[in-house]
Structure 1
Amino acid sequence: MRKTPNIRTTAKEASHERIVSAAAKAIRRSGYDGTGVADIMKEAGLTHGAFYAHFASREAMLAEAADRAGAESNALAASVIAAVPPEQSLQALMQLYLSKEHLESIETGCPVSALGSEMPRQSPEVRRAATLRIKEMIDLVARQFPDWGQPGAHERALVTVATMVGTLMLARAVDDAALSDALCSASLKSLSLPKTESID
């Protein structure tokens, strides 16, 4: 006999969803160390005391938040790719990633560029969650190359992702708008240049 969903279980799942969603934004906005349990619970409309009904620890919440932030970012990238012809997909993705809109949307943008410098100091579970989403991002980029599946495509994807993330981190770090724009423009130009194949 199939059971109908328990109302209490459904409510708990909805509350859990609100906490993770709030935390995914908070880590990008304030950093891992700047994300407190009390603030997240308040933002989710729940009491501080309810936290341990959802998570074993603050680190467990941060790991889920890292996973959610990465999933959101990769889903957006996939939707951009799906909206254009295959030969334009990589260019469209790079242009969005290095756009002024993304640069100014740290709370809802790529968590790697928002949190990359903090990652080495996080717990293994947080780093594992973030790493899996980074690998997913690299694979998504690799699939846009005509020779996807070959070592060269994976290598170019590594360089492309590293360049995009590093550029956005620098562009956000500086207090000079012209330099910020120049960093994004130069990287976009460099990534867009046709790559010449080496001849053996």
Structure 2
Amino acid sequence: MRAKDRLDIFLETGDDPDSEEKFFQGRLLIHRDSPINGGVYLGGAVREAIVVDDTKFDQEVFLRVYREATEVLTQLIRNQQNLDSFFPRLLEIVNRALKLSVEKTEEIVIRYLTGEEQKISLGVFLHEGYGVCRHQSLLTAYIIEKAILEKRIFGRVSVDRNFIAGLGGHSWVRFTDPSGRVTVIDTTLKYIGDVHGCNVQNPWDYCRPEEIKK
């Protein structure tokens, strides 16, 4: 699918435009409710195809951040604290690992990529220390997903995104606990809370189309 077509669908649906296309260059596409580790994430426009895979040559940079997060999680559990205490700490860890910078991110893309939609590891951005919402969301979701697989956390995690006219596109993490409670973790805008909180202090509209209040 051409980049322009993907962007058009993204603007119309507010969801991942490639949800019906399951693979990109041999990797499972990362979209809402899909697995994170081992997959590839495409942006709404022509940009890098970000691979999340902690089994490749740059696995140590992934695991270093993950170990930092799990050390914090283990300590909180020992202190009988819950995920409401962990998520703000995770937000801090990810923001240290991937400092927010549009300019630095563009420099990285130009330096490493020569064409449209080339695959590039999220580890490259971790090595450089910079990213934007899509990179920060992927790292946050990767950490949570790995903790779920290791039974440190119970629930489901997803990288969600949408487009708001006049503001542009944005990516964030959505965590659903075993009771069905949904928590938005927006590492970039530093928001942790409910999907319906946008009229209070929520800096974005995080609702999925089926959740929009009539």
Which range, TM-score by smaller chain?
0.3 to 0.5
The alignment's TM-score, normalised by the length of structure 1, stands at 0.32
Normalized per residue, the structure richer in helix is 1
TM-score after normalising by structure 2 = 0.31
Larger Rg: 1
